[in-house]
Structure 1
Amino acid sequence: MRIEDLDIGDVVYAAHAITDDGSMPNGMHGQVLAEAGARGVITMIGHVEEQPERSVYIVRFEDREMNLGTPIGCWPEDLRLESRYENAWGRFEFS
């Protein structure tokens, strides 16, 4: 399966630390929004108007207490289908 085949409600993992690029309302540029390996759920799939051929995935990643965080816009290369990293909580996760 490929990232492009996923749908709303599917579980994904952060392929790397995802940081605020300045587009998060009330956010701080460079702030880590999701640690590498963090588990998340796709809540919406859309396209950027300037690049209609490219999908953007809105994902809510879990925090340390397993609460879903603020929705984050992610490109396919920001996501993995399985975790290949030790996450922020010191666990290795594989699906």
Structure 2
Amino acid sequence: MILEPRNPKYQWGQKVKTLIDLYNDGSYPDFPDEALLVGLGTTGEIVQVGTHTDTNTPIYLIEFTERLVVGCLEEEISPLE
């Protein structure tokens, strides 16, 4: 079954905040597995918008205030007002 790509809700350069704590899923070898990368309510800026190839869902690369860039799903972030 082929899934149609979902259009992203957010855009490059947009300021966002996290809706959940984000933990290392193994993507960051300099951090222990399951280490907290970014806490709830942390603000950042979208630096790239891509698509997850298996699910055709938007993935947002967000640079957070700690200079850490983390990939997030729409359900994990919200725009800053």
> Shorter-chain TM-score category?
0.7 to 0.9
- Alpha-carbon offset, residue 31 of structure 1: 1.1
Q: Give distance in 2, aligned partners of 1:25 and 1:70.
A: 13
Q: How does 1:7-86 map to 2 (within 5 A)?
A: 7-51=11-55, 53-63=56-66, 69-82=67-80
Structure 1 segments unaligned to the other structure (5+ residues): 64-68, 83-94
Identity %: 22
Q: Give distance in 1, aligned partners of 2:32 and 2:77.
A: 22
- Alpha-carbon offset, residue 75 of structure 1: 0.8
Aligned residue-pair number: 74
Q: Which has the higher relative contact order, 1 or 2, with Cα contacts under 8 A spaced 6 or more apart?
A: 2
Instruction: Find runs of 4+ consecutive structure 1 residues off by over 3 angstroms.
Output: none
**Deviations, residues 44-82 of structure 1 (Å, cap 9, x unaligned):** 01112222x20110001113xxxxx22101111110124
Structure 2 segments unaligned to the other structure (5+ residues): 1-7
| Structure that is richer in strand per residue | 2
Q: Give distance in 1, aligned partners of 2:54 and 2:28.
A: 19
Q: Give distance in 1, aligned partners of 2:16 and 2:61.
A: 11
- Alpha-carbon offset, residue 22 of structure 1: 1.1
